[in-house]
Copies of this chain bind each other. A is one copy, B any other.
Amino acid sequence: MKTYLDCIPCFFDQALRAGRMATDDPVLHKRLLDELGRMLGDLSLASTPPETGRLIYQMVSRVTGNADPYRQLKRESTEQALTLYPAMKKTVEQADDGLLTAIRIAIAGNVIDPGANATFDIEEALQDVMEQKFAVCDYQAFKRYLADSGRVLFIGDNAGETVFDRLLIEQMNIPAVYVVRERPVINDATYDDAVKAGLDTVATIISSGTDAPGTVIPTCSREFRQILDQSDFVVAKGQGNYEGLSDYPHPIFFLLKAKCEIIAEAIGVTKGDIILKGMNT
């Protein structure tokens, strides 16, 4: 997915938010915005949003000297999600359709996203998503891939959300490889975050090699790209992975909540909608 002009004001919002997480110095906050202003002319709209996001978050780290502004928030999100895990596990086990319920919960976890939202309430999101209708729901195709495949490549998104991904992987009940970012960017899950969420107990955790807030193929490692191409099918969580992979010719199920107008329009749904969308499936 390309970058839209409407993404540009949002980039400034994100840079300011990340800058405030990284440092209390308002002089540096202003410097971030000025520097992003100077970068603008060189940013291509043909790039995907996470490709541009990568450059912006690198700049934030360089200017503030903080390589991981969301470190503390990521830890807290994971801890909060872990306290919710037992109740969610029970909900899935008692549901008529445990798999679909686990999918809903995994989507609810996707609201843990300080890149797209200034504030979020995970418990409220969990309640809401249980009753929300899917705007796109390729569930039959998803179940077919699940029955026919020996394994799944599951690409994670944010720390904390990881705990709910674990629940879905448990429910899918086939061997899974769980993909994280190589280096910290926003609150995206890295190897350590995935381990804290207990994903090492249900999947093999690997890095995609990227430091972009999404799966931006040219920034991924050769090893990951091979694993991706050889995988039976992929489950990709969240906007950043959708933006990076929506044109990739491979069977991928995207699980996300459309958190901004732009991605909603690109998918053909309404902001706030939840989707389970199969591509090339």
Contacts and interface: CB of A to CB of B under 8 A. Distances in A.
Interface of A: 5-6, 8-10, 12-13, 16, 26, 29-30, 33-34, 36-41, 45
A5 B29 contact: yes
Give the oligomeric copy count. 2
Given A34-B41, A37-B36, A37-B40, A5 B9 contact: no
Contact of A30 (B10, B34, B36, B45): B45
A41 B45 contact: no
Contact of A26 (B5, B16, B26, B40): B5
Contact of A37 (B6, B16, B41): B41
Contacts of A6: 16
A5 B28 CA distance: 11
Q: List the 8 shortest-distance A-B pairs measured between CB atoms, nearest first.
A: A37-B40, A37-B37, A9-B12, A9-B13, A34-B41, A9-B9, A8-B33, A34-B40
A117 to B, nearest CB: 14
Chain B CB within 10 A, most for which of A29, A30, A40: A40
Chain B CB within 10 A, most for which of A5, A9, A16, A41: A9
A242 to B, nearest CB: 23
A266 to B, nearest CB: 16
Contact of A5 (B30, B37, B40, B45): B30
Contacts of A39: 37
Contacts of A12: 8-9, 12
Contacts of A10: 9
Given A37-B38, A38-B38, 15 more contacts: A5-B16, A5-B29, A5-B30, A5-B33, A8-B16, A8-B33, A9-B9, A9-B10, A9-B13, A34-B40, A34-B41, A37-B40, A37-B41, A38-B40, A38-B41
A29 B45 CA distance: 12
Contacts of A30: 5, 45
Nearest to A14: B9
A30 B69 CA distance: 30
Contacts of A13: 9
A36 to B, nearest CB: 7
A45 B16 CA distance: 15
Contact of A16 (B9, B33, B41): B9
A222 B76 CA distance: 57
Contact of A33 (B33, B38, B40): B40
